[in-house]
Structure 1
Amino acid sequence: MIAQILFIALCLAAVALFSYNAKKVIRNIRLGKAADRTDQPQKRLMTMLKVAFGQTKMFFRPIPAFLHLLVYAGFVIINLEVLEIMIDGIFGTHRIFGGLGALYNVLIGSFEILALGVWVSCALFLVRRNILKLKRFSGVEMTSWPKSDANYILITEILLMSAFLIMNAADAKLQAMGYGHYISAGAFPVSQFLQNLLPDSATALVMIERGCWWFHIVGIFAFLNYLPYSKHFHILFAFPNTYFSNLEPKGEFSNMKSVTNEVKAMLDPSFTPEPAEPGRFGAKDVNDLSWVNLMNAYTCTECGRCTSVCPANLTGKLLSPRKIMMDTRDRLTEVGKNIDKTGNGFDDGKSLIDTYISREEIWACTSCNACTNACPINIDPLAIITELRRYAVMEESQSPASLNAMMGNIENNGAPWKYSPADRFNWAKEN
């Protein structure tokens, strides 16, 4: 009974703490402006199934995609084993699903094979990051914490899978001895090779089996509560993020209703303006962005695929789409902490633009959409860059001299060039 009470207390504490932190994240996302992403529900559902569940965009890089698929499948399917552990922990049973017979043997055998796949994949990911040091895992934004965050998760997954396999090996050995409540249940295609490494003492085996059982489930509770502080929140957010992703043609920018009303009124004095919320042009800080942009920031996996295909970054410019998303998330987290301390309305004198993202970064972007196409979970860094540009131009009248000249020419000459409309066809006369 003591073990059951302790387990239930740990379970409730873990769920309560995760719910508390998850509510803060959701509160932060809701700081963003409204955005209607409820249209075309069938297409949105298919996008989520294809991109998030099917991971189709991952396979542009087949080797890491296959390794990630093993980790993903292991994470999803091994949770069935976690369900059994939860029931056993609450009711004091042991292998409650053992009565399924042959089906249970197939399930446990499959779990072990997947656990081995997860173990190997995570080990290879560690090698890629820390020994091979692939270029896309580096950059000015990849400071010590982002690198450590990735390593912590990979090491944790290796430890959890190791505990699962060692637990099964000790359990199988106790089953063979006919010891206590260790009923004969399950198939152990992987852990059978670990049995010779374990002691023959039943008492020692029970300690190992119980120790690994507790380590495995407590590790899962700890992992759950680590997610809100980690880039690995994408495990949960990838699905709503792809569902609510932009379905409009790539490169099609949204118009501000207030500006559209002004233009239409100038062209047609009889035009009746549509209702539009008064507010800032573009975005100065995270609360000026839409909730979709903010959810994108929390969903970013920091994989670097966006930055690795960015033509501005490849030519040595300061822009990194990954940094845009990481900076947005960092600023949003900071704003959330300010709200927790002082309530709404607190101004810390900082903003997303200038404090976190420089003018040089936003103007280096070519608006080519390479980053949005490369993202495996449909994150859109360009949308944030565009809003920051809008603020710089429409609120502050600050833009590069070349753009000011171009916009002046369009206003005066009806074209981006400095020549007057009357001289536009002079080239034809010369021929």
Structure 2
Amino acid sequence: MQYVPNIIFLALLVFGIGFFVKNVGRLRRNILLGKDVDVSDNISQRWKNMAMIALGQSKMVVRPVAGMLHVIVYIGFIIINIEVLEIVIDGIFGTHRIFAVLGTFYDFLIGSFELLALLVVVAVVVFWIRRNIVRLRRFIKPEMKGWPQKDGNLILYIELILMLLFLTMNAADLQLQQQGAEHYVRAGAFPVSSIIVPLFESMSQTHLTLLERTAWWLHISGILFFLNYLYYSKHLHILLAFPNTYYGKLTPKGQFQNLESVTKEVRMMMDPSVDSFAAPAEDAPIPEKFGASDVHDLSWVQLLNAYTCTECGRCTSECPANRTGKKLSPRKIMMDTRDRLEEVGKNIEVNKGEYKDDGKQLLDDYISREELWACTSCNACVEACPVSIDPLSIIMDMRQYLVMEQSAAPSDLNNMMGNIENNGAPWPFNQMDRLNWGQES
């Protein structure tokens, strides 16, 4: 019977990690539905971007208040969970504070964990106030209604509960140490949890042990729950921010990628040795689809972007189109792409690994044409994103599809392109008359 808790713990651990691995497999499958793209260039610069942006949070602190609070939560939550290693070893082998043999260094670790836990609690409370009482504009946009709003708050509640369980566990442990309870050896420094120890002074050793064990079990169970909840939450960026910043765009933000097929055609037109009227060869490849109308047409890097989106709204708050009342929200573009990708993934699962046309697509069913044409292509959203997401690339690919596949550009744009073709300029004036304005008195 003494090994029952260890067996239960091991089963919980295997189930939690197994479910997480299954979700990672599903995530990888969905991302790889996108087109292949070569991102093998500038390896050193990519590693540098990942270190600075994902690990160093360099773009997060552009907004000092929110940035520093996020850094506290990020560092605190990651470092505190180093203790998970000790919890796992204790759970499997039935030990208690196995790393206590580290002595003074262990005291330093536990003390640091507790101070960080307190800072995380403070930061989480501030975040909750900003979302629900102050109600910052970027958190109350139309796309943040329903599940996105609940998800943001739920994450805060989970983080708060995990930190409080950690401090409660340590406070009960400290009280049991002071009472000389069996197995509870003197170990650790508890600068924060010692403050709440007086709340437990009247409890018996039996009740204290029950409290400490309950907090211990709930803490590790909560961490495993949080790990598996990531897939369904905007906090998936905790994991994906690293590959996303590594594979982020390295070329200048104003530089757009030309379609290879169009480039080849233009080169043929410029080559006097090529017969432009010749029929294509019988074995010539079928021309690729221009642009994107659904997630299959996007690259896997763009799909990775969609899953990495933190829904922080910095892109939307910087978007000039959105700020002037237009329907476009770069955040919504990424959220819609992720939602459509999830729908496609479920379609594949239901049909046993094969996608069957469901009569839907990203264009029109998720993202409207009004949103796409509202974009000024200024790259403000790309610059603002703290994890190197590029909403503009998706917008431009979908615009490309509308223009080159459906000839569905707005009338003003069609007029401009017609003028460029006929007059060599966007204006409806003959080239011979272009300088007439200078002759006016």
Out of 55, 62, 79, the residue aligned to residue 64 of structure 2 is 62
5+ long unaligned stretches in structure 1: none
Q: Does 1:283 align with 2:285?
A: no
Q: CA RMSD in A?
A: 1.4
Partner of 1:386 in structure 2? Answer: 396
Q: Distance in 1 between matches of 2:324 and 2:123?
A: 33
In 2: Cα distance, 1:421 partner to 1:77 partner: 67
Name the CA distance, whole Å, in 1 between partners of 2:274 and 2:319. 42
1:365 correspondence with 2:375: yes
- Asked if the contact 1:31–1:287 (Cα under 8 Å) also holds between the matched residues in 2, the reply is yes
Shift, 1:278, TM fit = 3.8
SS at match of 1:173: helix
Cα shift at 1:422: 1.4
TM-score normalized with structure 2 length: 0.95
Aligned length: 430
Q: Which residue of 397, 413, 429 maps to 1:419? A: 429
Indicate yes or no: 2:226 matched with 1:227: no
Show the counterpart of 2:320.
Answer: 311
What's the CA shift for 1:181? 0.5
Q: Deviations over 1:108-130 (max 9, x none)?
A: 00000001111111111111101
Structure 1 contact 294–329 (Cα < 8 Å) conserved: yes
Aligned mates of 1:106, 1:270 — CA distance in 2:
77
Matches within 5 A, 1:333-344: 333-342=342-351, 343-344=353-354
TM-score w.r.t. length of structure 1: 0.98
Superposition deviation, residue 337 in structure 1: 0.4
* Distance in 2 of aligned mates of 1:415 and 1:15: 61
Distance 1:159 1:79 in 2: 14
Which of 246, 250, 253 pairs up with 2:249? 246
How far apart are 1:9 and its partner, in Å? 0.5
Please tell me whether the aligned partners of residues 57 and 376 of structure 1 are also in contact (alpha carbons under 8 angstroms). Answer: yes
Cα offset for 1:154?
0.5
Deviation at 1:297, TM superposition (A): 0.3
Aligned partner of 1:158 among 136, 157, 160: 160
Alpha-carbon shift at residue 427 of structure 1 (Å): 2.4
In the TM superposition, residue 60 of structure 1 has moved relative to its aligned partner by: 1.6
Distance 2:384 2:94 in 1: 48
After TM superposition, the structure 1 = structure 2 runs for residues 41-60 of structure 1, keeping only pairs within 5 Å, are: 41-60=43-62
The match for 2:104 is 102
Distance in 2 (CA, whole Å) between partners of 1:277 and 1:296 is 29
1:192 is the counterpart of 2:216: no
Residues 347 and 355 in structure 2, CA contact (< 8 A), matched pair in contact too: no
Deviation at residue 271 of structure 1 after TM alignment: 6.6
Residues 344, 355 of structure 2: 8 Å contact kept: no
Distance across 1 between alignment mates of 2:268 and 2:368: 35
Aligned pair partner of 1:40 in 36, 39, 42? 42
Deviation at 1:277, TM superposition (A): 8.0
Tell me the residue number matched to 1:259: 262
CA-to-aligned-CA distance 1:209-263 (integer Å, 9 cap, x gap): 0000000000001001101111100000001000100000011100110010011
The answer for the alignment partner of 2:419 in structure 1 is: 409
Residues 260-313 of structure 1, C-alpha deviations (whole Å, 9 max, x = no match): 00111011144799x988421000100100001100000001000000010000
Change beyond 3 A, Cα 1:102–1:131 = same
In the alignment, structure 2 segments of 5+ residues that lack a partner are: none
Structure 2 matches for 1:289-304, cutoff 5 A?
Answer: 289-304=298-313
Q: Which runs of 4+ in 1 moved over 4 A?
A: none
Letter paired with 1:86: V
Deviates more, 1:330-339 or 1:418-427: 418-427
Q: Provide the C-alpha distance between the structure 2 equivalents of 1:304 and 1:125, rounded to a whole number of angstroms.
A: 14
Which amino acid is the alignment partner of residue 249 of structure 1? P
Q: Does residue 210 of structure 2 align to residue 210 of structure 1?
A: no
> Map of 1:71-110 to 2, 5 A cutoff?
71-110=73-112
